[in-house]
Structure 1
């Protein structure tokens, strides 16, 4: 049975994270994975090239040797295993899974806060502290998105949860209640 790329990404990312924790190298591995992600963004299609069965092995080996030259230890070994099993095209999913587990380990939640106008630095910091506390984390990192349609208030999306405190939502709820009252009369 062939596994889908998301399952593969989760399994490999989880395995690397657990090993990095065991060896007390989670921070170093994370930093190296960030540089690896940058390379993948700078060279789109690199994973596909390294996983392409139509290329000669020596051609892929040349590229792979250049890629792993700047890595050592756990990340280098990890890359060699991923390459050996022709999964280099799933590497970004593996990095995402590692990062998710790394952030969770550090009690950091990532998300967005949508507002009608940009938050000040102080408001943004206060929002991050409030969200972290509400959701049981030590820290939150929220990206401020601007959406004039929410009119006012905030919409927070983090950890697969949505907290909608927008005026738009409140107006919509009032409209729904008024429509219910009209239909009852």
Structure 2
């Protein structure tokens, strides 16, 4: 029975996190994985390259070695294992799972913040501090998104919560009340 992408991400992400934690290098590993994720995101054909049956194993190994040049031994071993088991196409999901586990351990919450205009640093800091208070987090990492369609206000989306304080949602609520 084949494993789903979610199962693969969960198992491999948990295993990688456990090894990094046992070696007390979760922070370093997380930093390396963010860099790896950035490279893969910027070069989406990279995963197609590794998945392609037309590409020789030697060419894939050469590419993998070039990706491992400045990596720690743990990340090198991780990438080699994914290659050996044909799981490189799942690397982004596995990194996301590792990051989720690392965030959970550190009390960090990642929040997508949608506003109609770009927030300045002071606004981001206040929003981050207030949201950390509300959800009981040690740290809040904001991912700002500008969407003029919300008109005003703010929409906060974390893994577990959505707080919609946008003007658009308030107008929509008034419309629904008037139509009933």
- Residues 124 and 42 (structure 1), Cα distance of their counterparts in 2 relative to 1, 3 Å cut: closer
Bigger Cα displacement from structure 2, 155-164 vs 80-89: 155-164
Paired positions, count: 180
Q: Distance in 2 between matches of 1:58 and 1:148?
A: 49
Following the alignment from structure 1 to structure 2, what is the Cα–Cα distance between the partners of residues 172 and 43? 40
d(CA) in 2 for partners of 1:150, 1:53: 46
Q: State the Cα deviation string for residues 22-66 of structure 1 (Å, max 9, x = none).
A: 111101111221222233234332233223334332232222222
Contact 1:51/1:83 (8 A) holds in 2: no
Aligned partner of 1:179 in structure 2 is 179
Moved over 4 A (4+): none
| Residue 39 of structure 2: aligned partner | 39
User: Which residue does the alignment assign to 2:75?
Assistant: 75
Instruction: After superposition, give the CA deviation of every residue in 1:79-137 in whole Å (9 maximum; x if it has no partner).
Output: 11111101112111111111122222221111222223333322221111111111121
TM-score (norm 1): 0.85
Instruction: Show structure 1 runs of 5+ residues with no match.
Output: 181-185
Give the secondary-structure state (helix, strand or coil) at the position aligned to 1:117.
coil
Q: In structure 2, how many angstroms separate the alpha carbons of the residues matched to 1:100 and 1:54?
A: 34
- Asked if residue 162 in structure 1 is aligned to residue 162 in structure 2, the reply is yes
TM-score normalized by the length of structure 2: 0.87
Question: How far 1:69 sits from its partner (Å)?
Answer: 3.0
